[in-house]
Amino acid sequence: MPRRFSTILCASLFVLTAFAYNVEAQNTLPAVEINCETSTINIRVHPGSNAVGFTTCTVSNPTLYQEDVEITVLSDGLPNTGSGKVSIGPGGEVEIQLSFKAEIGMLMGARSWSAEAVVVSANGVPPPNDASSKVQGLVQIMQYSGLSIISTESAIDVNAGSSFEVEVLVENLGNQMDFFGIGLICNRDCDLEDEGFVGIDSGFNIQIDPISNGAQAESIVFEITAPDKVGKVDSFYFEFYATSEFSCRIEGMCNTEYTSVIVSLSEDDSATFSDYLSGNTVMIIGAIIGTMIVAAVVVVLVRRKTSNEIFEMSEEDDVEDLDDEIEGDDFEDDLDDDFFDDL
C-alpha cells in the first residue's frame, strides 16, 4: 500500500509540473535580444580606401512566438545599412550586417552608433508589452599621414663666402595634427658641411595642423653660408625633406617627401678686391704716395723742358730775323752799285 501511494504521488507531481511548464510557456511575453561582434568599428579614410566599416549582429527570439522584429540603426550622421524588418521563429535567431560609410579624408574622430531591435508583432498581433533590445558603440575615423614639401626656388646662384636663404613650404595632407621631421641633405653622395657650408641643420621637428581643417602650409626658412672658396665642385643639389612622425610610429613605414634646390657657387670679384684692399692697406697707401711723388717730379721735369724749348725757339727766331735784315741790306747795296755803273 505505501509503495502504491508513492507511485501515485510521483505521477501526480510529474503531471502537475508538466502542466505548470505548459501554462508558463503559453503566458510568456514577447521578447527579443540583439548582440554584435564588436562595439568599436574602425574606418580608414585615407585616399584609395573604401572608407567603410562593418560589424555583424545576431538577433534572437527567446520565446515560443513567431515574431516580426524591426531593426533601426543610427550612426551620428554617417550613412549606414542594416535597418529593416526580420521574421524570427520561436527560439530562433538571424544574423544581420551593419555597415557605416565615412568620407575620404574626413578628420580623425569618433561617432556614436546604435542598433535597436523592436518586436512589432507576435503570432501576427501587436505585442502587449514593449519588447525591445539595444546595442551601442563607436565608429572610429582612423588617422592617416600625408604631406607635401616644395621649395620656393628651384635654383640659386650664390657667391663664395656669402649667406643665402632657402624657403620651403610643408603641408599636412593627413587628417589630424602631426609632427614632421624637417632636414637637409646632399643628394649626390656629398657632405655639405665637409664642403664648407655653414648652418646645415641636422634636423628638427615641427607641429603642423591638416589643411583639411583649414590650416595653411608652414613656411620654413633655412639660413646657410656658402664656402669661402669655390672648389672642384661648384654646383650642389640641396635636398630638403619632411617625414611624418605618425607614419613612422603607427603606419609601419615612414612617409617622407623631398624637394631639391640646385645651389651654384661662383667667386665674388668685388669681394676679392675688397679683401685685398683690407689686407694690404699700408702697402697700397705707400704705393699711392710714391705714385703721386713720381707724378709731381715728372710734371716739374716736363715743365722745365718745355720752358727751355720755348727759350731756344725764341733765340733761333731772333737770329733768323737778324739774318733776314742783313740779307736785305746787301740787296740794297747791290742795287746801288748797279745803278751807278749804268750811269
Which residues sit opposite 95 in a β-bridge?
A: 58
Whether residue 50 has pLDDT greater than 60: yes
pLDDT of residue 61: 98
pLDDT of residue 286: 60
pLDDT of residue 343: 40
The verdict on residue 82 lying in a domain is yes
pLDDT of residue 268: 73
- How many domains is the chain partitioned into structurally? 3
Sheet holding 33-36, edge to edge: 33-36, 52-60, 93-101, 80-81
Answer yes or no: do 250 and 222 share one domain: yes
Would the CA dihedral through 264, 270, 272, 275 be positive or negative? negative
Assign residue 231 the CATH number of its domain. Answer: 2.60.40.10
For 75-142, list the strands marked E by DSSP. 80-81, 84-88, 93-101, 109-122, 132-141
Predicted confidence band of residue 243 (pLDDT cuts 50, 70, 90)? very high
The verdict on residue 130 lying in a domain is yes
187/249: higher pLDDT = 249
97, 121, 141 — which closes off a domain?
A: 141
What does the mean pLDDT of the chain come to? 82
Q: What does the longest C-alpha to C-alpha distance in the chain come to?
A: 231
The mean pLDDT of 130-142, rounded to a whole number, is 97
The verdict on residue 3 lying in a domain is no
Distance CA 162, CA 271 (A): 10
Q: Are 240 and 191 in contact (CB under 8 A)?
A: no
Q: What is the pLDDT of residues 154-190, one digit of tens each?
A: 999 999 999 999 999 999 999 999 999 999 988 766 7
Distance CA 43, CA 46 (A): 9
The mean pLDDT of 255-283, rounded to a whole number, is 72
Cell of 250: 603607427
pTM above 0.75, yes or no: no
Of 10-14, 159-163, 210-214, the least confident: 10-14
Answer yes or no: do 123 and 153 share one domain: no
272, 289, 309 — which closes off a domain?
A: 272
Host H or E run for residue 60: strand 52-60
**Domain encompassing residue 165:** 147-272
CB-based burial label for 96 (10 Å; 0-12, 13-18, 19+): buried
Whether residue 209 has pLDDT greater than 60: yes
Distance CA 127, CA 30 (A): 6
272, 299, 315 — which closes off a domain?
A: 272
pLDDT of residue 296: 65
* Secondary structure (DSSP) of 156-201: EEEETT-EEEEEEEEEE-SSS-EEEEEEEEETTT--TTTTT-B---
